Chain A
Amino acid sequence: MSLTAFAPVSAARRRKDRIMRGVLLTLTLVAFVPLILIVYYLLHKGLTAVTGSGFFTTDPTGSFFGNQGGVRSAILGTLEIVLIASAIAIPIGIGVALYLTEYGRDSRFADAVRYFVDVMTGVPSIVFGLFVYITLVLAGVGGAFAGWKGSIALALLMLPIVVRAAEVVLLLVPAGLREAALALGAPRWRVMLRVVLPTALPGLVTGSLLAIARGMGETAPLLFTVSVAFGATLDPTKQMNTLPVQIYNDISSPNPVLNSRAWGAALTLVAIVLILNLLARLIARGSRMS
């Protein structure tokens, strides 16, 4: 019996297959279009602003006419606020992930924590902003608007990302490593500190970088917590300037010079966020090979 015992695929079925493959490819390419367009317009409209004099070296003056200034304080403010947020979210996030993988495992409480962390990832960032606004700004804890309150809002938003990413990589640490260390008589805390965490380090860094990148671009939570400022205040107990909020305000301005500064600031912000993302991916890839 020859292979032709199988009925050849009919022309109609083959045509349908080809059409559907074409449709899938086309839609995939459609998915690329927005990113290409956004990057194109960012470069097209942002580069002139970025290369303008004093863009990175002067603070916004807040004046509508004359010299409007650059984005220095916005960049510094964003970096500082995100740094504080990371200092809160990353240790706590990894701690919770350690609890989930090392102690909680399949306990009911651990499942509850996992569930609510998942739910937290879906909470709109503006709601985190409202939370902090109500409990810290309205309540007047240490004044009204302040940079550190923005950091807390961002930390809340970054926390679930860190926990989920860390849990995944901590679970990848081979049980054999833990058991070997325990069998050698190491107490659990040393096993975690000296074996589990170092083994998972690249993955933890990747997850943290992605969380930082996410926090960096957030605008809504900062509106309610940090508010705005123009000068380079690096004092986190005061109102501060941040890139996303400055972009937001510059978009709404009727002044084309400020609109142009928004494009420049957006280009800067996207560049930072994309670099963080690519860095995170490189680290993740490197660790997978080793």
Chain B
Amino acid sequence: MESSATTVSGGRSALRRSPASRLPDQLLRWGLTGLAGLILLILLYFFIRLIGESGSTFSKFGLSFVFGNDWDTGHEIFHGFPLLFGTLLTSVIALILGVPVAIAAALYLTELCPRRLRGPFSLFVDLLAAVPSVVYGLWGVFVLIPKLLGAEKWFASTFSFIPFVGGGTPTGPNYFIAGLILAIMIVPIVSAIAREVMATVPPEHKEAALALGATRWEMIRMAVLPYARPGITGGAMLGLGRALGETIAVVLVIGNSDSIGSHLFNQGYSLAAVIANEFGEAANDTTHRSALFAAGLVLFVLTLLVNMVARRFISRGQRGRRGTGGTGVTVATGPAGGAQ
């Protein structure tokens, strides 16, 4: 930058700083760069240590740690499929229940809502993300579980012809309750990202649709949704990542039973729940502890993959509209941050 400066006597640029005055600049520059690099190194170090600590479990059980169906702490057999199953099932329930609500709320707030109500309504959805997960757990244990048990029994007996979903005897804590709470927890995240993506749909697209005689809904379906689809998909996947890793709310309402529940309304376990629940008893048992670390590693890798794919979707959505000069989609957590 300073290379084009005019030189005065002594051959030194009049505008060039002395080496001494440049020192703080250099220090700051390399200090900040180092700081950024340090974070990457710390993450890498953690990852390596986690692999190291769970290594004995993987060398003993191999792939059956993930796909074997027998979690028996008493006999020190750690085949974690019941955990993985619970994690995946509750997250899928969360997506099925949560994503339509989140997208509908985002569509309503960006396209239909009266301007006056937009602020308070968005705030309301966002504040859901601010509720700590332990409070969701508390509410689940003392309100949802007792209040929903009757409805669950009715549902299970009425729809007993549907495999897995119907039939069986519902227990208080179960997969469904965990999935329902996760759904509530991911709504603000998915909705916030969907809203930001929808806000970047070029107004010309929408106006063109309306000018051609489209109704509001047709405008949403033909102009907004196709344009926002990659971003919405990415947002849903971020929600999935959140649901996969949620711990405290799930450990309180899933029942913590180490065999796979035969029905939707039966008790189960999840990867995160097993760590929180068995951590105390495993503290002095290195085999058990290593198995919990292995569960953590599986969870970490799973969420990492889901998040990476989600980022790809969201950035694909962004690239298309960079030229239109719209605001970039900022994707941190939710707008309010929140539980787990």
Query: Which single residue of chain B is at the shortest CB-CB distance from A8?
Result: B213
Q: Does residue B13 face the partner (Cβ distance < 8 Å to A)?
A: no
- Please, how many angstroms separate the alpha-carbon atoms of A6 and B43 in the complex? 61
Closest Cβ neighbor of A31 among chain B residues? B105
Chain B positions 6 through 24: 1 when the CB is less than 8 Å from some CB of chain A, otherwise 0: 0000000001010001101
Q: Which chain A residue lies CB-closest to B221? A: A20
Docked Cα-Cα span, A10 to B43, in Å, equals 59
Find out whether the CB atom of A251 lies under 8 angstroms from the CB atom of B337: no
**A134 engages B218 (CB within 8 Å):** no
Among A17, A100, A119, A127, find the residue whose CB has the most chain B CB atoms closer than 10 A: A127
Question: DSSP class of A's interface residues: helix, strand, loop or mixed?
Answer: helix
Query: Knowing A31-B125, A189-B24 touch, does A266 contact B32 (C-beta < 8 A)?
Result: no
- CB nearest neighbor in B for A25: B108
Chain A residues within an 8 Å CB radius of B123: 281
Q: How far is the CB of B86 from chain A (nearest CB, A)?
A: 15
Give the Cβ gap from B223 to chain A, nearest Cβ, in Å: 14
Q: A130-B293, A262-B138 are in contact. Are A24 and B107 (CB under 8 A)?
A: yes
Q: Is the CB of B141 within 8 A of A118?
A: no
The CA-CA distance from A130 to B330 in the complex, in Å, is: 28
Closest-CB distance, B132 to chain A (whole angstroms): 3
CA distance A237 to B304 in the complex (A): 32
B340 to A: closest C-beta gap in Å:
5
CB contacts (< 8 Å) of B260 on chain A: these are none
Query: Are B244 and A124 in contact, with the CB atoms below 8 A?
Result: yes
**B306 close to A122 (CB less than 8 A):** yes
Question: Which one, A23, A24, A38, A123, contacts B300 given CB within 8 A?
Answer: A123
Inter-chain CA distance A117–B311, complex, in Å, is: 12
| A204-232 Cβ-contact flags toward B at 8 Å (1 or 0) | 00000011011011111001100000000
Contact with B along A126-165 (1 / 0, CB 8 A): 1100110011001000000000000000000001110011
Quote the shortest CB–CB distance from A80 to chain B (angstroms). 18
CA distance A134 to B310 in the complex (A): 29
Question: Bound state CA distance, A109 and B306, in angstroms?
Answer: 23
CB distance from A162 to the nearest CB of B (A): 9
Answer whether A219 and B248 are a contact pair too, CB < 8 Å, given A113-B39, A131-B46, A248-B137. Answer: yes
Q: Which stretch, B58-66, B76-84, B96-104, B200-208, touches the partner chain A?
A: B96-104
Contact with B along A188-203 (1 / 0, CB 8 A): 1100100000000000
Stretch of B261-269, B272-280, B317-325 on the interface side: B272-280
Chain A residues lying within 8 Å of B316, measured Cβ to Cβ, are: none
Of B39, B128, B300, which is within 8 A of A31 by CB? B128
Tell me whether A273 and B132 are in contact (CB under 8 A). yes
Q: Does B151 contact A (CB under 8 A)?
A: no
Minimal beta-carbon separation of B115 from chain A (angstroms): 15
Contact pattern, A 1-18, Cβ under 8 Å of B = 1, otherwise 0: 000001101000110110
Cα–Cα, bound, A31→B128 (Å): 9
Closest residue of chain A to B15 (Cβ to Cβ) is: A185
Kindly state whether residue B134 has any CB partner on chain A within 8 Å.
yes
- Report the nearest A residue to B98, measured CB to CB: A31
Given contacts A27-B104, A273-B132, contact A9 B213 (CB under 8 A): yes
Q: Check if A38 sits within 8 Å of B340, measured CB to CB.
A: no
Instruction: Verify B191–A31 contact, CB threshold 8 A.
Output: yes
Which 10 pairs show the lowest CB-CB distances between chains A and B?
Answer: A124-B245, A217-B132, A214-B337, A27-B104, A122-B307, A99-B32, A17-B215, A164-B332, A20-B217, A131-B46
- Enumerate chain B interface residues (CB-CB to A < 8 A): 15, 17, 21-22, 24-25, 28-29, 31-33, 35-37, 39-40, 43, 45-46, 49-50, 53, 100-102, 104-105, 107-109, 112-113, 121, 123-125, 127-128, 130-139, 141-143, 184, 187, 191, 213, 215-218, 220, 238, 241-242, 244-248, 252, 272, 275-276, 279, 293, 296, 299-300, 303-304, 306-308, 310-311, 330-333, 335-340
